[in-house]
Every structure is written in C-alpha cells, then in structure tokens.
Structure 1
C-alpha cells in the first residue's frame, strides 16, 4: 500500500472518530464524577469492552486534565514501588527508587488522572505494590501531587484472564462502581452522537453547611447502628468489593459533603455511597437519609429562636452534631452562643442526654475571653465532670 493509501485510510478513521455530543444523563458517569471530585480512588467493575476506558477519557476531557493509562496486569511490583538507582555515595545519600514515566508526567503537570486498567488481572504482589500508590500517592521516591485523581478498572474474576480477587486492604480503599452499558446510547453513538458528561462543581458558599450536614448524618447513623461501623464479609469475592469500615465511612463522609455542596441528584449520590460502604450498609444508610431531612444548620444558628427540635431521637442527634460541626467550621462568639441556644432546646424538650456529647464538643471551642452563656447552665454538672469547663 502506498503512503497515499495510508493517508486516505487515516482520513476515513478520523471521520469515524469525529462525533458530536448532546446533553444526556448517566448515573454511573455522574457517580464517577462525584467520587473523583471528592478525590477518592474509584474502581470500575465491568465486562471487557463495554467502555470503561472511553468513560475515563470523557471524564478527563470534561475536567480538562491529562489522563495516564497504566495496564496493571502487565507490570511488575517494581514498576509501582520504584526501581533502585544507586548513586555515587549510597552509604550517605541512600538509594533512590526511580518512579516510572507516567508518574513523572503527572508530577510535572501538577495534576491529572491516572487510570489503572485490568487491576483484577494483576497478581497479589502487584496489587500490594499498588496499595501504596492508592493510599499515599507515593510512586517510588516520588509523591504525586494532591490534584492527581486515581481510578482503576477491573473485570469480574469469572471474565478476567487469570483473574484474582482483590485483597481486602486494597478493595477497602476504593469506591466500587458497576460499569454497564445502555444499548440505546451505544446505537446512537455509532450514528455519531454521544452523551455529554456534566461535571459537578462545588459551590463555595455551600461548603460549611455541606460539611456540617454530612457529619451530622454519618455520625447520627453510626450512633444508631454501631454494628455497621465495621463488617468484613466472609467470602473472598465480597471482601474484594465494597464493605463498611471506619475508612470507608470517612470516604462516605467526603462523598456526602461533596454531594451536598454540588447539589447532586439523589441517584448518582446514592450509587456512589453504596459503592463506598457496600450494599447492606449503603441501602440502610440511604433509607435513614430519606427520613432524616436535616434543616440547614447555618440558618438555624442565624436565628435559633425560630428553631424547633425534631421529635425523633436519631434526627435530634444528627442535627445537634451538624450544628456543632457548623460552629466549628466558622467559629465566632455569636455562632458559639447560638449553638448553646439550640442545645438548650434539647433540655427543654426533656432529652438532655441527646445533647450531652454535642455540649462537650461545643464547650471546648470556648475562648477564654468569651463569657459563659445562659444556655450552658443545664450542662454545667456534666461539663465540670468532664473537665471541659
């Protein structure tokens, strides 16, 4: 074939690749975008050839960041732990662990996304080496910048070539999302039109309220259901997916706060939360959230006299936790005193025990020059015993 023949073939291929986009909705892409915005490692589960890599490229293009793809199954542990480079004086300067080229490119760029494909086909030794990359963002002697986002993909062991179950320590550090395809979307894409991904944007004005509400919801739920704080599944396949632990609940806290701050729709946020703590704990938490309906703690602190304490005990605890978190997030004397007015209503309602923990947390925020407010009187004995006053 002549060069002209290649040019014509390349032109044909370029025309096939060219496509337009249109507004569309994809729960899995929106859930992935939420988790990436929260800077949480994500693991996409799906059969080969259904568009995991294409979804990653679409997300990277939408964020305007570079994407580095690393096929985990064809690498050695040293490719992630670093290759030793002996200097002129190793006894004094040590041995440098040289990072791979993809890590250097991300570091020089100051951020981006790294996509570890075929993770479940990587042997346990490689998975163990990847653990430090996911946990500490450390590749050899190089620490990846904070703006670097980590996403991986895995095929179910039944469909992966020489597939392995993920080790529990590695699995427990990911948000697990099942990746599927919509035949109608694929058919329209073959015609030249693909859906456009909407990137969630955190509203700075919502950050304080979002963090406070998320803390209240997670803390209230785990107080009511302590058995779900940590539950390691029995079978190997389940241990290689999402399950609840203090680590994954902290991840859920970040996700929920980002969801509140972005004004995320319920379905993508629910998908991401279940992918963080597992089906059982996730579904129960979502049910709890539907009935919670927490008021905006910042609005309550602005005018505590108009606030009525919720009747249910779990809502009371969640809301008082959110109020204290809101005060801590933007601590002023006025907001601190308003917090005590809110807690005093729990005493008036005959449930001082619900507010006891929140009172201790609020008391330690007091600055020496602030006078003791009247609302603290009902908690004086408790606080004196705890040494908070």
Structure 2
C-alpha cells in the first residue's frame, strides 16, 4: 500500500490564511505575482467563509465551483463542428470568469474529493490559467480547497503533479482567532461565544470524534449553527435536542448548563434601561455570565446606546466593591473589563463612535486607572 502524504507546511489560523490570500490578491493586482492557492483543512474549519469574505473585501464576483458535482466537460465546455472552418471547436462554459476588467475569485471547492478523472482538466486552470482555448484573465484570483484523507472526509490523495501547481495553506481552528475575527463581528449568540472563550478545546473536535468512532464533531461551522438554533428556537427541550444533533450529546450537555446560566442571568436589555443602582444588581455572578454580558454589549452597541454600554462595561472592574457576593473577589474582573473594552472599541471604531469613548467619563476613568498602573 502506498504511503499517505501529509500537508507538510505550517498550520495557520483562518484569520492568518485570509491575510495571506488578501496579500496574494494585492500582489497579483500589481503584477508582482500570479499564483493559485490551496486551502487544506478539516470540514467546517471556515475555508468557504474565508473565500466569501475575501470576495466581498476586494469587490470581486465569486465563481464557486463544487468539483464533486461536475464533470470534465463542465469545465472544458462542449464541442461543436464549425462547418465554415471545417473543424471542431468548443463552447466555453459559463461558470468560468472572462471579464478582464472586473475582479473575480474562482473558488475550486472540494478539490481533493473530486474524481481523479477531473483533475487533469483542473491542472490547466491552476498552472496555466486556461482550459482548452479559454484563458482566464489576470483579474481572476484562483483559490482551491479540500480536506485530507486523515480528516475522515471523502478525499483522494493529491498527486505531485497537482500539488506542484499550488501554494498550500493548512488551515486549523484557533479559538481566539475565530472569536475575534468571526464570531464577534458576525454577532453570534453570546452563549456560544462565552462557552468557546472558556472551552477553547471544544471549538474543533474532529480528531477526537474520529478516534472515538463518533459521527458528530464540533467545528466552527457547527457552532455557528448552534447560534442559529439559539436565536430561532425558544423551547428549551427542542433546542437542546437540536444542539445535541449538531455538536454531539456530551458537549451539548456541557453547553446547556452554560446556556441556561446565561439565559437566567444575562439581561442586557434590562441593564440598558435601568439606572446605575439597579444595573449593579443585574450583573451575572459567574464567569460564563460575565463573558456573555461582554459579548452581548458588543453586539448591541450603536450610536444611541453607546454611553450606557460603555458605563456598564466600565463597572465590571468594580463589581467586587459594588456587590457583596464573594464570587466577584475571585474573578479576574480587571482582565475581563480590559478584554471587553478592547472588543467594544473595535466594534465602535467600525461604526465611527470614537467620540462616544472620548466623551465618556466612565471610559476616561478606566483609561486613567490603567495608565496609573502602567498598563496603558
């Protein structure tokens, strides 16, 4: 039996892979480098979302070809006989970009799961940027993606002739990257974000599931689906069944405890509507709850409620003095507040809310405390 070849390059987070692709596009646009890229990674790690994000960022039209669903003629086109020329020629397929003026991203998804009979047709696209007589303009950025044999997905070994035509990126799930660059900006449910912040090991469990013979694994994609379930299904019993069918029963049981705690204690809307005295009593007294509160505040931030959101965030660091519960004295409230403000400020800058922070007495007091402690 032949030896299974691994992807012998450094593993990178989805955020780093995106930065590499964006830099590659910039280099291609200036004529400095013309290349095709291959994203390796387990199912659900975020490869497809990354390419969609890139297309949106560069204002490109996305041509998404799932190679497991097409035949060689779908790429090459179909022949017809040109009677006037006395020869056979080819109709160009509509799924390939041909506009030299408009940026396009050609995404060849599930490359490693495609039939080996299709791979020779793909070679020309990846190496020579052409199929038959049809040549891709330089305005087209080419990205392929696929799983490996070790991932438990359907995959063929990539032969060296195909591998040599690509720049390879091995994408892995990294909790901090996923939280900061995907989950928080997209406004995933605070319970999901809070859970993964404290259980980073459960963001991606494909390898463990394979070792245990389990069908269901946790992936960034499945956690996004859990967020959708929480937003769509109110009845707890039905919600828990759906979550178990998404991330597995053991993880779902752990998550349910966190979700129930957050549902019972995190009251962002009520806190925004209350005066400061009443707000203090509404802060959750658990780490899960405070993490969820932070992400809830980030999610609702806008120009109208910014002063109240900033005040609520600033008081997190003072909870040990403002509330009698001993739990707060054992929590890293300063670190939570700092992380909360860092995340909140990123959201605020995107919305043009700089003045809301500069004009906030609570934020200035927080910033001055950090400066006095040598942390600014």
TM-score band, normalised by the shorter chain?
0.3 to 0.5
* Alignment TM-score, normalising by the size of structure 2: 0.44
Q: Which structure is higher in RCO with an 8 Å CA cutoff and minimum separation 6?
A: 1
